[in-house]
Homo-oligomer: A and B are copies of this chain.
Amino acid sequence: MEITINLKTGDKVPMYEQIYEYIRDEIRNGRIASGERLPSTRSLCRHLDVSRSTVELAYEQLLSEGYIESVPYKGYYAAQIEGLYQLTAPQGEAQTGSGDEREKYLYDFTPSGVDLNSFPYNAWRKLSREALADDRSEMFRLGCPQGEYGLRNAISSYLHQARGVNCTPEQVIVGAGNDYLMMLLCTILGSGHKVALENPTYRQAYRLFANMSYEVCTVDMDAKGMRTDRLRESGADIAFVMPSHHYPLGTVMPIRRRMELLGWADEEEGRYIVEDDYDSEFRYKGKPIPALQGYDGSGRVIYIGTFSKSIAPAIRMSYLVLPMPVLERYRERCGFISSTVSKVDQLILQKFIEGGYYERHLNKTRALYRSRHDTLLASLKELKIPVRISGENAGVHLLLHFHDGRSEEELIRLAADCGVKVYGLSEYCVNGESAGSAEGGVNTADDDAVILLGYANMNEEKIREAVRLLGRAWSITADQKQNKPLKTE
């Protein structure tokens, strides 16, 4: 066989690569058949008028990728590749943009907002600069799978002091967000569990458990939170709750219900309570409600907390606090899984907490949210809309309960028509089941509609203006039913 290649000398592509590509394509196309003997490197270099090492380089590449085979003392042969699989061209079709289809709203009462104007940019920048100073290669070496000890220590001190959580740094696992940590938790606990969640609940948690192949169910709430009698009936062995401030209802689980829940967990080996303590930093009446974990004497509560609400969603740092039996399982089953947070980010956060920046930032944000909260309540009270308010003592949203026959859908549409985006409670209900039963103050069975208003993202002026628009959107015309007065509780 003789191979003639139209080599381009002035080309960017090196000579050996042109030879390699030509022969490769000939073999792919079948023009050089399998088993066919290739010219020796010596004859080919003479034929092409290139150096012998150029041809040797090309043959070596063809050999490494398996297009040709070398038979000692005989030479090079095209490998047998045809007929196995059809090699093809790129399959990807380009799609446009990143799909940022923001609708045209003047105001958005999103309940998952966070004020980012108050983000402590200067402090973060300073700590970030410090973390990267001095070319410390230690910062870029793989760290502890659980998270760096310094950060875990800072978190456990903070949790002890601010949330009444009893833990050592050894029990803390730092991870890149709640979603990841829930996935990790499922991997730690293994399959075969049934998880009970409140209804309504944080739907992200519900979907995650379901996707991790856990059996999931919802358990009715009353004014005190998840009903333990129903929990017992459900057959679940894991209860996912938000005792300090339920999302989205804002319910605080009273001590009696907490103890019932701990009692439930203690009844059988292997039962656990997952406590999602997502935003307990913001409370407008009295001290923060202590975490359920602090009451747990027998290692039944798995605590999950996050800096997404209290610092910023995009910093991607959350933490699990594992009770001893689960910590042992973690070490056995998942201790080898690398950390999901970079060391640099961990160090920044650690210094942010230790240096008092976190506390100052929390105080600042608390004051900010309180003022928005007060403005929203005051503005709502001025409206002549028959509505009851709940969930207003903590967090960054409140609920409006309507009893005038209008549906959630209708109220959302009316608000949208005036340029205001509001959110319906049904978004948080699983499988369209109704939210809660009819015993207490926060539940909704007797409501025609429940609307959520989040205020973290809006300043006072915007809140007043948006509520004025809502007043117009939701006003009840003369031919509609009697106006019930607005009441708060």
Contacts and interface: CB of A to CB of B under 8 A. Distances in A.
A10 interface: no
Interface in A117-137: 117, 119, 121, 124-125, 128-129, 132-133, 135, 137
A481 to B, nearest CB: 28
B316 A340 contact: yes
A256 to B, nearest CB: 5
B170 A65 contact: no
A454 to B, nearest CB: 14
A431 interface: no
A98 interface: yes
A287 B313 CA distance: 42
B140 A224 contact: no
A167 B183 CA distance: 27
B90 A166 contact: yes
A86 interface: yes
Interface string A162-179: 000011101100011111
Q: Which 10 A-B pairs have the closest CB atoms?
A: A66-B254, A88-B297, A176-B340, A140-B312, A116-B137, A90-B166, A142-B313, A98-B149, A61-B286, A66-B255
A411 interface: no
19 contacts: A17-B287, A60-B285, A64-B289, A65-B254, A81-B256, A84-B256, A86-B297, A87-B297, A91-B166, A91-B298, A121-B132, A121-B135, A142-B308, A177-B338, A178-B338, A187-B212, A191-B213, A208-B337, A211-B334
Contact of A64 (B85, B94, B286): B286
Nearest to A262: B85
A177 B143 CA distance: 12
Given A132-B121, A213-B213, A314-B342, A98 B286 contact: no
A175 B80 CA distance: 39
B64 A142 contact: no
A178 B290 CA distance: 37
A259 B95 contact: no
A475 interface: no
A168 B92 contact: yes
B336 A207 contact: yes
Contacts of A377: none
Contacts of A204: 336
A361 interface: no
Interface string A63-102: 0111100000000000111001111111111110110000
A473 interface: no
A48 interface: no
A251 B257 CA distance: 61
Contact of A313 (B98, B141, B180, B324): B141
Contacts of A308: 142
Contact of A176 (B140, B176, B187): B176
Contacts of A176: 176, 180, 316, 340-341
Nearest to A131: B128
A314 B343 contact: yes
A342 B316 contact: yes
A132 B140 contact: no
A304 to B, nearest CB: 14
A285 B168 contact: no
